[in-house]
Chains A and B, each alone.
Chain A
Amino acid sequence: EAGVTQFPSHSVIEKGQTVTLRCDPISGHDNLYWYRRVMGKEIKFLLHFVKESKQDESGMPNNRFLAERTGGTYSTLKVQPAELEDSGVYFCASSRSWDRGLDYGYTFGSGTRLTVV
């Protein structure tokens, strides 16, 4: 099966601009997660979708971040307006429905490296 796909792989934007990151989960995976790693820090959870619904968005840093998952397929994470501290690597992960078990764990994408200058 195809893995979790994220694009762009890299993005360099100026402070104040808007950036949209996209994540395509593995087909059939109901659960989709966004994480972020800021340089020198641990990987931090941002939010979790179950299909198109936000299950947990406790990790979203502020209202400049907006995540959507229309139709329960791919997801986008928009940062508007971007600030310098938003720089980091944004990872997306997906997993099967828990009702069908966690046979394969969570699969992560390769990440989007965002640099705000």
Chain B
Amino acid sequence: DAKTTQPTSMDCAEGRAANLPCNHSTISGNEYVYWYRQIHSQGPQYIIHGLKNNETNEMASLIITEDRKSSTLILPHATLRDTAVYYCIVAGRRALTFGSGTRLQVQP
């Protein structure tokens, strides 16, 4: 699977948009971009995923660049409950490989 690069940590003010970047310059054509988060020691929670088009669901938006070498997860109105470690994962038809993720701290 392609390797991803994420900032180690980020802060965001409550109520503001949180924009989490991810670089995946070695992504191949059949690999999806997945975003998961882990709150404390809970199981990883699915957020969103996409192949090449931008995606939006009730939790977040995923913006993938045209060359697919990077993406941004957008939480439109961050709340304190969004404080978590966010994982950007690139994978094809196989198991996900987790990196160290971005620790997002939402500040009141």
Q: Does A45 contact B (CB under 8 A)?
A: yes
A42 touches B99 (CB 8 A): yes
B49 touches A102 (CB 8 A): yes
Q: In the complex, which residue of chain B has the Cβ closest to the Cβ of A39?
A: B41
Shortest CB distance B44–A (Å): 5
Known: A98-B93, A102-B32, A102-B49. A108 touches B44 (CB 8 A): yes
- Secondary structure at chain A's binding surface: helix, strand, loop or mixed? strand
CA–CA, A59 to B98, complex, Å? 13
A44 touches B98 (CB 8 A): yes
A107 touches B95 (CB 8 A): no
Total A-B residue pairs with C-beta atoms closer than 8 Å?
A: 52
Which B76-108 residues have a C-beta within 8 angstroms of A? 93-100
Q: In the complex, which residue of chain A has the Cβ closest to the Cβ of B97?
A: A45
Most A Cβ at <10 Å: residue of B45, B48, B97? B97
**A interface vs B, CB < 8 Å?**
4, 33, 35, 37, 42-45, 48, 55-56, 59, 89, 91, 93, 98, 102, 104-111, 113
A-B contact pairs, 17 of them (CB 8 A): A42-B98, A42-B99, A44-B98, A45-B98, A48-B94, A55-B94, A56-B95, A93-B43, A93-B44, A93-B96, A102-B32, A104-B46, A107-B46, A108-B36, A109-B43, A110-B42, A113-B41
**B interface vs A, CB < 8 Å?**
32, 34, 36, 38, 41-46, 48-49, 93-100
Known: A33-B96, A89-B41. 19 other contacts (CB 8 A): A42-B99, A42-B100, A43-B44, A45-B97, A45-B98, A48-B95, A56-B95, A59-B95, A93-B43, A93-B96, A102-B49, A105-B46, A105-B49, A107-B46, A108-B36, A108-B43, A110-B42, A111-B42, A113-B41
The 10 closest A-B pairs by CB, nearest first: A108-B43, A43-B98, A105-B46, A108-B44, A48-B95, A110-B43, A45-B95, A98-B93, A105-B49, A33-B95
